[in-house]
Amino acid sequence: MEFIKVKNYDEMSEKACEILVDRMSKLQQPVIGLATGSTPEGLYKLLIDKYKKGELDFSNTVTFNLDEYVGLDDDDPNSYHYFMNDKLFNHINIPAENIHVPSGVAENIQQECLDYESAMKVAGQIDVQLLGIGQNGHIGFNEPGTAFDSRTHLVDLDESTIQTNARFFDSIEDVPTKAVSMGIGTILESKEVLMVISGASKQEAVKHLLSGEITEDVPASALHKHPNVTVIVDEAAWGDN
């Protein structure tokens, strides 16, 4: 696991953009795993800028998002599919059929999970998986205690995650309690992982990652088992580590 320490959120976004664009430029059909949340928003803005300047082409890019809330459809402004359309997909030339976000409203969620795994297999492995990290160390919606060999699955969100994400909803009662998420095993199969971490609220999670301890209590610690992980951390998240 390689750590890159940067000054602030903007530098984190720029560094992540530089790495992602470099990898995309080397691949005929990049398969990119994408994440939602506040952390990657700056990166998505930079990718849009590059596309608008004619420096980046998404026509051959295939994407797979990490997760989606159960019960929210694509048009719901709080769904992750909506977030991705709004923050990235609507502004670039990615073909709609190349975009994959798990459905949170599938009639049969178990089948949806299996289908999502199959779609990833058909596309080939994910070349670069972008990840944020939860304050509790979650990756995707894999909460503490999730098995490291888990595949795309239905998850019960941690109370702490529900509280953290309530800021996006009118009230905490509106926050879904379940989600579909790629599993930790799924994430570990990507060829490369690019993690972005910003802000003082992530100091505990960073401390744990730096300790090198591998435990299911901190889902992101599974990444120590992966051979190609870059973690970009800003000073606020780094703290006194």
Point out the residues that are catalytic: 67, 136, 138, 143
Q: Which one, 42 or 98, has the nearer CB to ligand PGA?
A: 42
Residue 132 lies near ligand PGA (rule: CB under 6 A): yes
Sheet holding 128-131, edge to edge: 2-6, 229-234, 192-197, 128-131, 31-34, 62-65, 99-100
3-class secondary structure, 39: coil
Q: Out of 16, 19, 31, 37, name the contact with ligand PGA by CB under 6 A.
A: 37
Taking the CA atoms of 12, 13, 18 and 21 in sequence, report the sign of the dihedral they define: positive
What is the DSSP-derived secondary structure letter of residue 158? P
Tell me how far, at minimum, the Cβ of 181 lies from ligand PGA, in Å: 10
Give yes or no for residue 134 binding ligand PGA (CB under 6 A): yes
Decide if residue 133 touches ligand PGA (CB under 6 A). Answer: yes
Quick check: 38 binds ligand PGA (CB under 6 A)?
yes
Residue 126 beta carbon to ligand PGA: minimum distance, rounded to whole angstroms = 17
The piece of 32-40, 76-84, 142-150, 204-212 that touches ligand PGA (CB under 6 A) is 32-40
As measured in angstroms, the least distance from the Cβ of 26 to ligand PGA is 27
Our finding on whether 176 is near ligand PGA (CB under 6 A) is: no
Using DSSP's 3-state secondary structure scheme, residue 120 falls into helix
Size of the site for ligand PGA (CB under 6 A): 6
For residues 87-126, which are near ligand PGA according to CB under 6 A? none
Options 13, 24, 39, 102; binder of ligand PGA; rule CB under 6 A: 39
Q: Which residues contact 89 (CB under 8 A, 6 or more apart)?
A: 99
Q: How far apart are CA 222 and CA 234, in angstroms?
A: 21
List, in order, residues 6 or more apart from 154 with CB less than 8 Å away: 70, 109, 110, 113, 178, 179, 180
| Piece in contact with ligand PGA (CB under 6 A), picked from 127-135, 176-184, 215-223, 230-238 | 127-135
Taking a C-beta distance cutoff of 8 angstroms, is the pair 241, 211 a contact? Answer: no
List interacting residues with ligand PGA (CB under 6 A).
37-39, 132-134
